[in-house]
């Protein structure tokens, strides 16, 4: 389970960071992996604890993201149990080349996509960092299939894009993008951000935007209208500063939101209200 994502476990050390000052205006964590967080970080109270900690920090809604068949099923189930959680389902782009029967896995994802608490198809996309040329065809075929599923079910498409900006745009142009597209953990520069904004896509920024060397990400955030901006943890990964390298969870979203407000010059409460409204537009109502 989740083999596509677990290779970064060794990079996280120590305990969960202390809770930051809560946000006055609640926001949504648009991308988290509660299953991986619980399994790998030993969260004693499980999902309920993570949801409660997030709510206390002003993060009152969470999007639980599937990355393979098993985690997608789990995501749909936990969203049915937790009112604060909705789900997305998909095969991660690094998972697709490893499957013996990609078509069968896609059929399962299609079935899950019909669920009321499933609000997005993702994370899907392209990743040329971990998957070499031998896996590129399967990755692209999977991405194209997920685009079609998102359009058939009227759900948001949640894109994983690692070192593949031009391929992402090319494939979206070929297939025709769904009405709602989210660039998860946006990793491009200001020019790529402007192109995505022009196409109406939503850019979701993770804790990476707080890193000292992330000047290009902050530049990208500055050219993104706040109505096309989301925030995420990608927990348990990408913990924002000053806790980079420790486990991440949704209650740490305020650190990223405050960094975005500082980078863009936006009023914090106005930014939070915009993120909240965009979360409801893309994934809601909860």
The response to whether 153 counts as a known ligand-binding position is no
Q: What is the dihedral of CA 273, 155, 123, 282, to 10 degrees?
A: -10
Q: What is the dihedral of CA 233, 49, 108, 152, to 10 degrees?
A: -60
The response to whether 146 counts as a known ligand-binding position is no
The response to whether 184 counts as a known ligand-binding position is yes
The response to whether 160 counts as a known ligand-binding position is yes
The answer to whether the beta carbons of residues 253 and 27 sit under 8 Å apart is yes
The response to whether 234 counts as a known ligand-binding position is yes
Query: Using omega within 30 degrees of 0 as the cis cutoff, is the peptide bond preceding 244 cis?
Result: no
Alpha helices in the chain (DSSP H): 34-41, 46-56, 69-81, 102-113, 136-153, 165-175, 190-198, 215-222, 253-264, 268-283
The answer to whether the beta carbons of residues 94 and 27 sit under 8 Å apart is no
The response to whether 134 counts as a known ligand-binding position is no
Mark the binding-site residues for a divalent metal cation, compressed into ranges.
31, 33, 123, 160, 184, 234
Which amino acids are annotated as binding site, given as ranges?
31, 33, 123, 160, 184, 234
């Amino acid at each position: 389970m989740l083999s596509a994502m677990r290779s970064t476990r060794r990079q996280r050390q120590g305990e969960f960071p202390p809770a930051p000052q809560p946000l006055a205006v609640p926001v949504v964590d648009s991308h988290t992996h509660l299953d991986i967080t619980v399994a790998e970080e030993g969260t004693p109270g499980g999902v309920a604890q993570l949801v409660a900690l997030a709510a206390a920090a002003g993060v009152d809604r969470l999007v639980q993201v599937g990355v393979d068949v098993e985690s997608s099923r789990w995501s749909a189930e936990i969203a049915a149990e937790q009112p604060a959680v909705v789900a997305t389902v998909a095969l991660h782009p690094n998972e697709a080349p490893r499957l013996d029967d990609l078509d069968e896995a896609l059929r399962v994802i299609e079935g899950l996509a019909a669920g009321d608490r499933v609000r997005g198809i993702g994370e899907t996309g392209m990743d040329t960092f971990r998957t070499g040329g031998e896996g590129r065809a399967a990755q692209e075929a999977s991405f194209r299939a997920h685009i079609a599923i998102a359009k058939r079910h009227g759900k948001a498409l949640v894109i994983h894009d690692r070192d593949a900006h031009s391929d992402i745009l090319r494939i979206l142009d070929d297939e025709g993008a769904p009405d709602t597209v989210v660039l998860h953990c946006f990793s491009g520069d200001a020019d790529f951000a402007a192109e995505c904004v022009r196409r109406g896509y939503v850019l979701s920024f993770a804790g990476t935007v707080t890193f000292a060397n992330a000047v290009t990400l902050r530049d990208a955030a500055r050219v993104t209208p706040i109505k096309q901006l989301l925030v995420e943890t990608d927990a348990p990964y990408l913990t924002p500063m000053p806790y980079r390298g420790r486990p991440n969870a949704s209650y740490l979203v305020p650190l990223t939101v405050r960094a975005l407000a500082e980078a863009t010059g936006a009023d914090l409460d106005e930014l939070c209200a915009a993120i909240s409204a965009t979360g409801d537009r893309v994934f809601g109502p909860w």
